[in-house]
Amino acid sequence: MTIHQLAPKLYNWASILEPHTRDQALTTAAMPFVHPHLALMPDAHLGKGATVGSVIPTLGAIMPAAVGVDIGCGMIAVRTQWTGVDLYEVGGVPGVRKLREDIESRIPLSAGNHNTEVSPGGWDRINELETMWDNTCTSHGVELPSAYSTHWRLQLGTLGSGNHFIEITLDEDSRVWAFLHSGSRGIGNQIARHHIKVATELMKKWWIDLPDPALAYLVEGTPEFDHYIAELNWAQHFALLNREEMMDRVLDALALHMGTEVVEEQRINCHHNFTQKEHHFGRNLWISRKGAISAREGQLGLIPGSMGTASYVVEGLGSKMSFNSSPHGAGRNFSRSKARKTFTHEQLREAMKGIEYRDTDAFIDEIPQAYKDIDQVMADAADLVKIRHTFHQVINVKGD
C-alpha cells in the first residue's frame, strides 16, 4: 500500500482500517505535543486511548496508556540446527505432541499463573533486575518492585494468555525455530496502571480537559515523568529477560526431544510495546510504539501472524516517515467477545489442521479469522520491511 496522509499529523499504512480506529488515531494525533506526525501501521486496530499499531512521537510529554499496560511486550526467536524431518523422526506425530506437553509443563501458562520457585538459571536474571531497580528506581521513592507485586520474581519465565504464545515452527527451508511472544506480565501491568493513574490525577489537578481520559500525559522534567521512565525501562528489561528465560526452557525441552544440545544459529529478541528517545526530523523525540517494532535499516525484527497462520523474520528498511518502524502482527478484526459469538470450535479445528495444539474452545477468540489477513498486512508493509524468513507452525502453545 502507498502511504496515505489522513490529516496534517496522521500518516497511514493500513489498507484495512475500521472507522472507529481511524477516529481514535486522529484524536491521538491531534494532541499538541505529538510531533511531527503519528504513523499508523498496517495492523492498526482499536486500543485503549491510543490505537494498537501506532507509532507516536512526542516532544516533552508521554502518555503512559499510549505505551500500554503490557510494557515491553514482544517476540523472541531462535533458529536451531535441525530440520522438520529431524523433528518428526523422533517419535513421529506422537513425539511432537509429547514435546508440546513438555513445553507446557515447563512454563506456567494463562493469566495469574506463576512459577512455584525461581529456576536455577533465573537467579542471575533476578539479580540483574534487582540491581537495575536499585540503581535507577529507588531514588524515585519506590524501594522494591514488590511494592507493585510481591511475587514478581516468580513471574519471570511465564507466558500469560490472550495472543501470547510459544511455537515450534519451520521456515521456508524447513529449518526448526523456537518462537514466542510475551511481555512484562503482572509486574509490568501494575507499574503501567500506577503511572496511568498518576497521569490521570495530574490532568484533574491542572484542570486539563482531554478528548479521551486515556490520553492523560506526564510532562518531561517533572518528578512524575522521571519516575515513570525509570520504572518503564525496568519493566521493558523484565519483559526481555522474561522471554529469554522462557526460551531457555523451550530449548531445554527441544534438546530433550532431539536427544542432543541445541546449536543456536540465530537469536532475535524485540519489543513492540515500548518507549525510547530517538532522533528524527532533526529533533530528539520520545517514540512510543504501541504495537509496532523498531525497523531501522538492516535491523532484524519479528512479525507474528495469528494462531495457525504464517509469521516472519523481517529486515528493516529505515522508513523515515514511519520513524523506522513496522507492524507487530496481524491486528484484530474482531473483538474477543465478538469473535466468540461469530466463530465455532469446529472452525478453529479446521484452521489449526496439521498443527499440534491444545484443542479447546478457550482459543476461539484467537482464531485466525478474528485477525486481519497477515498477507495483506505484509503487503502494506512492503516499504517498511523486507521478509527474510517465513514461518509455518508445527506446535502452538497458548494460555487460556
pLDDT (tens digit, 9 = 90+) per residue, 259-292?
999 999 999 999 999 999 999 999 999 999 999 9
Question: Which conformational region is residue 219 in: left (phi greater than 0), alpha (psi within -120 to 50 degrees), or beta?
Answer: beta
Residue 222: all three cell numbers together: 517533572
Contact 245, 124 (CB under 8 A): no
Residue 133 has what pLDDT?
Answer: 96
pLDDT (tens digit, 9 = 90+) per residue, 79-132?
999 999 999 999 999 999 999 999 999 999 988 889 999 998 899 999 999 999
pLDDT (tens digit, 9 = 90+) per residue, 153-198?
999 999 999 899 999 999 999 999 999 999 999 999 999 999 999 9
Q: Single out the residue of 313, 311, 309, 387 nearest to residue 354, CA to CA.
A: 309
% of the chain residues with pLDDT over 90 = 93
Contact 290, 307 (CB under 8 A): no
- CATH for 130: 3.90.1860.10
Contact 28, 288 (CB under 8 A): no
Catalytic sites, residue numbers:
328
Contact 56, 283 (CB under 8 A): no
Cβ contacts of 215-218, under 8 Å, gap ≥ 24? 215/27, 215/28, 215/31, 215/49, 215/50, 215/63, 215/65, 215/66, 216/63, 216/64, 216/65, 217/31, 217/33, 217/61, 217/62, 217/63, 217/64, 218/61, 218/62, 218/63, 218/64
- What is the domain range of residue 128? 4-397
Number of domains in the chain: 1
